[in-house]
Amino acid sequence: MDATDDVLRLVEPDGETWSLYVAGDFVYDGPTGPSPIGDTVGSRIASSDLSVLNLEAPIPADDSIPKAGPKKESAPGVPALLGETGFDAVTLANNHAMDYGLEGLTETVEACGDAGLETLGVGTDRSDALSPLYLTIDGTEIALVNACQREFGVATGSRPGTAWIDHPDADRTIERANERAEVVILIAHGGVEFVPLPPVQWQRRLRRLTELGADLVVGHHPHVPQGWERYEGTPIFYSLGNFLFDHTVRPKAQWGLSLEITFDGPTPAAAELVLTEEVDGGIQLLEEESRRRECLSHLHRLSGLFDDPDEYAAHWQEMAVRIFNQRYSGWLRRAAGGNPVTFLRQPREHLTQDGLWTGEARQEELLLLLNVVRNGSHRSLMETALAVQSGASVDRRTPEVERRVRELLSWTEDQPVYDRPTTIERKVSDLSERFLGE
């Protein structure tokens, strides 16, 4: 296969075929009027037998849940816009679906229904949220399953929310769907944001679900495209990146990958890599040839890492260490004892004698800590980085791996990834002691 091929040949079809279009993360809170989805993209969506998109944000309501991180919202007219474009279903198992609580989720599901869109990945309880969407296309019985990693808002045995992919019930859902349907398609929301490789542990989880019966896995959440592999014959696409995400200010997250997959009955036969880009607040095909070839080469290069487990593990270790030092170490310090820079901006009366925030500020820090230790991919990254740096696991990194990882991260990071922020941290600590009188 050429390093810039945009069609992956899986099997040679010998019967009737049908098509599936899958798009990544979508948040649009823009004005009513012309659709932000360009005609060239829209025609592909409308012409496919089944078109699915991840609706990343709910319609806002006067409700909320405790969570770390920003809230995202969709304009009230978004479901109608998606239906008019040609989408058939939207997945809602993601880390923003419950941003506005049950009220926001209910309003979103109802608006989707009014627009003729099927919804999946959410429900009144865990069982309901994990329930597959069953469809028949050209005589092929399909089970569409959607689930996400745990952040805030996952459904429980008695509470509504999103479908949790790491719960044992997710395994049973795939097994039962495989018994009933001819083809099981899993849309999975997980991984680490703005990182071009999935955690090794996330790879294991998705592989396990293919062993239980998933015939195709398509992922999103990292906001950047990642690679793919065929595990024992089953295609796994780890991240499509953004379709349209008008809440992000990261220029390097403004291109993405959609898939147009041809099925020979129940068998995925080919996958066309449809590159898109955000231009002036809208989404269109990425047509500039040199840029297309560059992006396709990048994706093939990422995918090639899965061919050698040791190489993949080495690259993931290097990536985890860099991202941990850049992001996670600061998050952990803030939650455990606070960030001195932030302290300098706070009135002293909002700090306890131990130097911790009080009230809402402290709750936000604790929720952040809860998220990074409870979410599977966040925990995997920290575990990998700490094990490598402490010598608790075999360090597979080499200077060549370090060089390649720097290059791969340049595709997704708008700022340099710092290896050793300790000098800066010491200066900030010294400054905080002078101002706070510690």
Strands 234-237 and 228-231 come out as antiparallel
| Inter-residue contact 48 to 19 (CB < 8 Å) | yes
pTM above 0.75, yes or no: yes
Nearest one of 408, 220, 228 to 314, comparing CA atoms: 408
Contacts of 416 by beta carbon, 8 Å cutoff, 6+ apart: none
pLDDT at 120 exceeding the cut of 80: yes
Q: How far apart are CA 46 and CA 200, in angstroms?
A: 36
Confidence of residue 331 (pLDDT cuts 50, 70, 90): confident
Q: What is the mean pLDDT of residues 299-317?
A: 98
Task: Check residue 70 and give left, alpha or beta (phi > 0: left; psi -120 to 50: alpha).
Answer: beta
Percent of the chain with pLDDT over 90: 79
- Tokens for 133, please give them: 């969407």
Question: How far apart, in whole angstroms, are the C-alpha atoms of residue 263 and residue 269?
Answer: 5
DSSP 175-191: HHHHHH-SEEEEEEE-S
Superfamily of domain 7-307 in CATH is Metallo-dependent phosphatases (3.60.21.10)
* Per-residue model confidence as pLDDT tens digits over 14-65: 888 999 999 999 999 887 778 999 999 999 999 999 999 999 999 999 998 9
Give the start-to-end residue ranges of the domains of the chain: 7-307, 311-436
- Residue of 436, 261, 253 whose CA lies nearest to 352: 436
In this prediction, residue 365 carries a pLDDT of 84
Q: Considering only 146-150, 192-196, 241-245, 348-352, which range has the smallest mean pLDDT?
A: 348-352
pLDDT-derived band at 361, boundaries 50, 70, 90: confident
